[in-house]
Amino acid sequence: MILLWIALLPLFGVLVPLLCSQRSRLFTTWATAAAPAIALGLTLSQAGTVLQHQTLRYTLSWLPSLQLDYALRLDGLALLFVCLVLGIGLLVILYASYYLSEQDSMPRFYACFMLFMAAMLGVVMANNLILLWISWEITSISSFLLISYWWQKSEARKGARMALTVTAAGGLALLAGLLLIGHMVGSYSLDVVLQHGDLIRNHPLYTLTLCLILLGAFTKSAQFPFHFWLPHAMSAPTPVSAYLHSATMVKAGIFLLVRLYPVLAGTDQWYSIVSLAGMCTLLLGAYFALFQHDLKGLLAYSTLSHLGLIVLLLSIGSPASTVAALFHIINHAIFKASLFMAAGIIDHETGSRDMRRLNGLWKYMPYTATLAMVAALSMAGVPLLNGFLSKEMFFAETLNQSILGSLSWLVPVLATLAGVFSVAYSLRFIHDVFFNGEPIGLSKTPHEPPRYMKLPVEILVGLCLLVGIFPEFMVQPILDAASAAVLQDQVPSYSLAIWHGFNFPLLMSLVAMAGGVLVYTQRRHLFRFQHQFEAVDAKREFERLIQLSVRRANVFSRWLENDSLQRYLLLMLLALLVLLGSSLRELHPLSGGRSLLPLDPVTLCAGLVLILSAIATVVVNRQRMLSLLFLSVTGLMVSLLFARFAAPDLALTQLVVEVVSIILLMLALFFLPYKTPRNAAAPRNLLRDSAIALVLGALVGSLCFALLSRPFDSISSFFMAKSKTDGGGNNVVNVILVDFRGFDTLGEITVLGIAALGIFRLLEHLRLFKPSADGEGRLWARQRDSVILNVIAQGILPLALLVSVYIFLRGHNNPGGGFIAGLITSVGIILQYIAHGVSWLKPRMRLNYALMIASGVTIACLTGLGSLWWDRPFLTSWFDHFHLPLIGDVELASAMAFDLGVYLTVVGATLMMLANLGKLTTAHRPQYEEMQ
């Protein structure tokens, strides 16, 4: 339970600064520090147990199906890192309260900072690989927010984005790697995973897994070749750099290597990849650190170099080298954090970080200078300071390895070389900044910082000294415990003594120091040499890479998505062609063997007309009105064919639909150009399009033939049998529509209604002008009224209504029904519009079409709901026969009411579309009415 508090307290701490936004800065600082301070106290209270080489665990079930538990562990390694994270975190909180200026938002800084701290604790305390990954990713996110703290600066934005991209990419690789480990072991629990080192190392997926995890670790710890993001993350406020880029985030990658050391290390792949990356980073960082003019830049490259050193130590793979690595982790965190803070103080008090301008600060801030010099000497590896001890151990380990086979002698040589540069850049830090003449062009006169801004540095530098002088007392216990956790209790005997006698490592140290002094004094030559090369700005390169990929992607997308409807339709039809073709290819034979009907001349003629009119529609497609006429012929032929094959209902419907839709199209075409403009690409595409059309036609035709020539057995026999007895109607088609599948009909009339509403909406925004002439320049007739048409139309309306009623009433038993009746009524009314015009009709016929549609659908719906009253499912039909005097036997059916709904909807929808399209150029055109 205490573990849970340690992990969660900083997380709750995120809220503290946000709640303090109205309070004073000092209050905010102390309030924010409370949570980590308590957490640190709790950790120390557990330290006694952990230092006895015991592991504390706490597990809370979270997502069992993912095997993701909120599982924490506190072993020696975790304890070490928890102390670093919380301890240095507390110092940085104190430091930051003096560093941040009045304009900077303190709550935002502290909130992000605490989030990062909580995530970091999650990484080091996780006992579940997935939980570790989750925390890992949150460190990436919160570090993005911290690096971009000064978001107004372009470099901060870019640096933050680069850091995020690189570390998050690594995070994805890490996820894959961890999932693979889970797949191999069958569990994500670290307890289990750590027991299965052999299984993992001998698994065929080991190499892949290792590479993925190393990708994650290397990107996070900025190892070569992913080192480039770290120097650019220096655009962050210095407290952030002191925390993230010395003690914590960059150490997360190293932590991961150490954590998984028992299961991943010890193979050839491990040796070669890890040592190569570590060695490159070590040298590269040390070399380039010397040439940085920015104080923080120097420290950033130096951090790279030290991280490389630790990684190299881990790659050697001997127990002693692992101890040395752990030791250097502690030391580096201590001296680098203090150096960053010192650099921050200098920046804060002088307004510059450029070492070409900062000179001779000793005179102005002797106290700070002393602190910084001690820390820098520790970084250089000078005796009696902590840096010396671990560096000595490192040198010793480089002598006891064989990672490069017969070339292994190179390792100590290169290590010494790195040592040389490390001494040189430390000297530069000391000499250039604090001595070397007078400051040049500073904006303010340097002076010592406030008392408590120095306090964190003092503590850290004190630790440097204490560890350097009394190593056994200061770090031996925790180092033992941590090593035990990593090496699984096979801790080698090692000595933390300062004096080991005259030996090779000492010699290497001496060479490094002498060389370092030499290099520093002769640095002009080196600077000149380095000056020949163009400096590569990783940030710019990175931005360019991103820009380039965006451009490439743009070209690709433009090529693929050219916004051409024709292309999208083409692709769709091609897809249809491929899928249909691939399945019909397997069909042998095409015909199912049913005997074909004899061909009679009338049908043949109708068929021919059908085909020819379809072809003609396409051929004259540029002359729209003509094309439409041919289309209507096609429609007519289809309705005749329906009649020929004994489907009178369909024939009737098709006929009326044909009339209405042709009127609709003519209305629409009136506003469009008379001819379709000639398309430049048309001839080129003609061949392609006709080929596709023909092949598709052939395929669908074959499909139809294959289907129709096979014996057909379906549920339709049920409808035949039950239509009269259970549905109460002789007309099976109508009974299907209003009863068996009345639900479909309800849906379809809704569709019709929505279509009408939609067309109204489209038209209400449309401003069209009436063309004065047709396509060939003939003026439209001025005279609006035709007397003959007026008279006929007026006479036809009652007739049409009468026919509608007749068709409607007979529908249940004979061809007809609400749908057809509705269309007939509509045609009758449309005729009035055509004959008299809108203005004449408007006062004479007050029909609210939207209301009509709504009433229609509502009636149909209520009919269905009625059956719920009798506890029958929706739309259960009812019918009965009554004997009325005089009239005789009368059938009443709920289906009639339903059909009435259909009728009303059809009339309303048809008229809403046609009439509003017709009204478009009149004063009564559809307009949006503001609602209250």
Among 51, 506, 580, 845, binds another protein (CB under 8 A): 580
Find the part of the chain contacting another protein (CB under 8 A) among 290-298, 407-415, 738-746, 806-814: 738-746
Residues recorded for the chain: 932
C-beta of 510 vs 868, nearer to another protein: 868
**Residue 349 and residue 425: Cα distance in Å, rounded?**
23
The token pair at 778 is 């003939």
Binders of another protein among residues 537 to 556 (CB under 8 A) are: 546, 549-550, 553-554, 556
Among 109, 133, 271, 903, binds another protein (CB under 8 A): 133
For the four alpha carbons of 18, 20, 25 and 28, in that order, the dihedral sign comes to negative
For the four alpha carbons of 51, 55, 60 and 65, in that order, the dihedral sign comes to positive
**Residue 395 and residue 381: Cα distance in Å, rounded?**
11
Show Cβ contacts of residue 527 under 8 Å, excluding neighbours closer than 6 positions: 291
**Residue 24 and residue 491: Cα distance in Å, rounded?**
50
C-beta of 511 vs 576, nearer to another protein: 576
C-beta of 118 vs 190, nearer to another protein: 118
Find the part of the chain contacting another protein (CB under 8 A) among 145-153, 218-226, 374-382, 804-812: 145-153
| Paired residues of 73 in beta bridges | 57
C-beta of 504 vs 556, nearer to another protein: 556
**Does 647 sit near another protein (CB under 8 A)?**
no
Show Cβ contacts of residue 629 under 8 Å, excluding neighbours closer than 6 positions: none
Among 1, 60, 64, 533, binds another protein (CB under 8 A): 64
User: 832-861 mask for another protein (x: CB under 8 A)?
Assistant: ------------------xx-xxx-xx--x
Smallest CA-to-CA distance from 320 within 460, 88, 505, 174 is with: 505
**Does 890 sit near another protein (CB under 8 A)?**
no
∠ CA 676-678-681 to the nearest 5 degrees? 130
Burial label, 116 (beta-carbon count in 10 A; 0-12, 13-18, 19+): buried
**Does 134 sit near another protein (CB under 8 A)?**
yes
φ, ψ dihedrals at 24, nearest 5°: -70, 165
- Tokens 């009435």 correspond to what residue? 900
CA 794 to each of CA 66, 801, 817, 833, 904: distance values in angstroms, whole numbers, following the listed order? 76, 12, 24, 11, 21
C-beta of 414 vs 584, nearer to another protein: 584
Evaluate whether 320 touches 494 at the Cβ level (below 8 Å): yes
Among 646, 687, 720, 886, binds another protein (CB under 8 A): 720
C-beta of 63 vs 602, nearer to another protein: 63
**Does 596 sit near another protein (CB under 8 A)?**
no
Among 423, 513, 875, 914, binds another protein (CB under 8 A): 875
Q: How far is the CB of 19 from another protein (least distance, A)?
A: 15
Evaluate whether 823 touches 656 at the Cβ level (below 8 Å): yes
Q: How far is the CB of 612 from another protein (least distance, A)?
A: 22
Among 518, 865, 890, 892, binds another protein (CB under 8 A): 865
**Does 141 sit near another protein (CB under 8 A)?**
yes
Among 717, 782, 846, 883, binds another protein (CB under 8 A): 717
Among 198, 472, 561, 785, binds another protein (CB under 8 A): 561
**Residue 493 and residue 319: Cα distance in Å, rounded?**
9
| Cα 763 to the center of its chain, rounded Å | 38
Among 40, 83, 121, 137, binds another protein (CB under 8 A): 137
Show Cβ contacts of residue 888 under 8 Å, excluding neighbours closer than 6 positions: none
Among 66, 440, 608, 682, binds another protein (CB under 8 A): 66
Q: How far is the CB of 124 from another protein (least distance, A)?
A: 16
Q: How far is the CB of 102 from another protein (least distance, A)?
A: 19
**Does 18 sit near another protein (CB under 8 A)?**
no
Show Cβ contacts of residue 183 under 8 Å, excluding neighbours closer than 6 positions: 205
**Does 698 sit near another protein (CB under 8 A)?**
no
Q: How far is the CB of 747 from another protein (least distance, A)?
A: 4
C-beta of 765 vs 844, nearer to another protein: 765
The helix (H) or strand (E) run that includes residue 56 is strand 56-63
Binders of another protein among residues 234 to 293 (CB under 8 A) are: none
Among 510, 518, 587, 693, binds another protein (CB under 8 A): 587
C-beta of 221 vs 877, nearer to another protein: 877
**Does 60 sit near another protein (CB under 8 A)?**
no
Q: How far is the CB of 790 from another protein (least distance, A)?
A: 33
**Does 592 sit near another protein (CB under 8 A)?**
yes
CA 10 to each of CA 14, 456, 819: distance values in angstroms, whole numbers, following the listed order? 7, 20, 70
Q: How far is the CB of 635 from another protein (least distance, A)?
A: 16
Binders of another protein among residues 892 to 921 (CB under 8 A) are: none
**Does 41 sit near another protein (CB under 8 A)?**
no
**Does 665 sit near another protein (CB under 8 A)?**
no
Binders of another protein among residues 158 to 197 (CB under 8 A) are: 160-161, 164-165, 168-169, 171-173, 175-176, 179-180, 182-183
Evaluate whether 185 touches 205 at the Cβ level (below 8 Å): no
Helix/strand/coil (H/E/C) assignment for every residue in 68-111: EEEEEEECHHHHHHHHHHHHHHHHHHHHHHHHCCCCCCHHHHHH
For the four alpha carbons of 843, 849, 850 and 852, in that order, the dihedral sign comes to positive
C-beta of 122 vs 516, nearer to another protein: 122
Binders of another protein among residues 341 to 400 (CB under 8 A) are: none
**Does 742 sit near another protein (CB under 8 A)?**
yes
Find the part of the chain contacting another protein (CB under 8 A) among 65-73, 369-377, 796-804, 885-893: 65-73
**Does 714 sit near another protein (CB under 8 A)?**
yes
**Does 751 sit near another protein (CB under 8 A)?**
yes
Find the part of the chain contacting another protein (CB under 8 A) among 327-335, 512-520, 568-576, 770-778: 568-576
Find the part of the chain contacting another protein (CB under 8 A) among 131-139, 248-256, 271-279, 498-506: 131-139
Among 294, 392, 658, 739, binds another protein (CB under 8 A): 739
Burial label, 95 (beta-carbon count in 10 A; 0-12, 13-18, 19+): buried
Evaluate whether 411 touches 398 at the Cβ level (below 8 Å): yes
Helix/strand/coil (H/E/C) assignment for every residue in 223-264: CCCCCCHHHHHHHCCHHHHHHHHHHCHHHHHHHHHHHCHHHH
